[in-house]
A and B are shown apart, each in its own frame.
Chain A
Amino acid sequence: MTEMRWDVAPGDRPSIPASEQNASSGFLVYTLGLLLAVILTVTSFWVANTSAIWAPGVPAGLTVLAIAQMGVHLVFFLHITTGPDSSHNVLALAFGVLIVFLVLAGSLVIMANLNENMMVHSELMNLQMQR
């Protein structure tokens, strides 16, 4: 049982003592994750195609659903938890998320700003491209 003393590797089940660990609990975790992911995916497709939701709110709704589903995948499939034995993995993930956010938000803001301030040029480009 020396392994219990270490951080868990990402994807490892949290280090529950062997006496508590039964074969069905892992199966249950994956099945629950699959169910949640299916529900979120179906909801995403429904949100994109329905007219019951205020149209400008749809992208925000889809974003929330996607983030929720990524969370489900991280917890149920990759077993990244907030437990004390998984802190290195969570910290690495937090750094990754920070970089992803900087790359995405930075590119989008800068390019939107450029587009706005170079309207004439972009219109010219469109004229040239439309044969």
Chain B
Amino acid sequence: MNVAVEMDAVRRSALLNLSEAGPAPKRVIAGFGFWTFLLSDIVMFSALFASYAVLAKATAGGLTGVQLFDQRNVAMETALLLLSSYTCGMMSLAINSRRYLATFLGAVATFLLGAAFLALELREFQGMIALGATPQRSAFLSAFFTLVGSHGLHVTVGLAWLVLMMVQLSLRGFQDVVVRRLHCFSLFWHALDIIWVLIFTIVYLMGVLP
């Protein structure tokens, strides 16, 4: 433990006062700016969560969550997204040590897991709509499709972004700007997983409680 304390002291002394440090490097500014965007995105999701929580019982005589939600499907979606978050972390490590092959492998794994998640979610939506549980059927379903659909839309955007970044990486290599963008992508992807934790807890697990 002593070593850890000493390490902390080293890190503390390495950190200059803000007044002495001058402007921060672009990597830190870009990361902080994207982190702020992610927080504002989470605030937007909190509004969707609030409307879902208010409208969850307003089924207007239509199908309810207990009849519609399939827990096995949700468990599989959760596993896929969690694993893709993990492979995204592996990709970040590969980027930090500038390994091309490992970065591409991490990106491919992340993309495939994310795409599988999206496919499962779309299949679930399709099954619900086939049962007549369309967004216009009840307030509960409107709120459900808005909330879960927004998350799915974010995942879709993330997948497109990942493809774009792999193209950039193969064309331009590990330039600073490419590394910064990849870093922002991994933040985005981990944040989506955090939102999914809330969705499966509030929508799918609490929604089927008696």
Most buried by A among B11, B79, B96, B208: B11
Q: In the complex, A85 Cα to B71 Cα: how many Å?
A: 41
B143 to chain A, nearest CB (A): 12
Interchain CB contact under 8 A, B61 and A38: no
Interchain CB contact under 8 A, A41 and B194: no
Q: In the complex, A6 Cα to B30 Cα: how many Å?
A: 13
Interface-located stretch among B21-29, B126-134, B144-152, B165-173: B21-29
Given contacts A3-B25, A99-B46, contact A92 B191 (CB under 8 A): no
A65 to chain B, nearest CB (A): 7
Is A54 in contact with chain B by the CB < 8 A criterion? no
Q: In the complex, A34 Cα to B88 Cα: how many Å?
A: 12
Interchain CB contact under 8 A, A84 and B35: no
Is B14 in contact with chain A by the CB < 8 A criterion? yes
Q: For chain A, which range describes its interface: under 10, 10 to 19, 20 to 34, or 35 or more residues?
A: 35 or more
Per DSSP, chain B at the interface is: helix
Is A123 in contact with chain B by the CB < 8 A criterion? no
Chain B residues within an 8 Å CB radius of A20:
7
Interchain CB contact under 8 A, B205 and A89: no
Q: Produce 1/0 per residue, A75-103, CB < 8 A to B.
A: 00110000111001100110110011001
Interchain CB contact under 8 A, A15 and B11: yes
Chain A residues within an 8 Å CB radius of B46:
99-100, 103-104
Given contacts A9-B31, A26-B93, contact A130 B61 (CB under 8 A): yes
Interchain CB contact under 8 A, A89 and B43: no
Chain B residues packing against A (C-beta within 8 Å): 7, 10-12, 14-16, 21, 24-25, 27-28, 30-32, 34-36, 39-40, 42-43, 46-47, 49-51, 53-54, 60-61, 71, 75, 78-79, 82-83, 85-86, 89-90, 92-93, 96-97, 183, 186-187, 190-191, 193-194, 197-198, 200-202, 205-206, 208-210
- Can you list the 3 inter-chain pairs with the closest CB atoms, starting with the nearest? A9-B31, A96-B39, A107-B50
Would you give 19 A-B contacts (Cβ < 8 Å), ordered by A? Answer: A3-B25, A4-B11, A10-B31, A11-B187, A14-B11, A16-B11, A17-B14, A20-B7, A37-B82, A41-B200, A45-B71, A47-B205, A62-B201, A66-B202, A77-B89, A84-B11, A104-B53, A108-B54, A131-B61
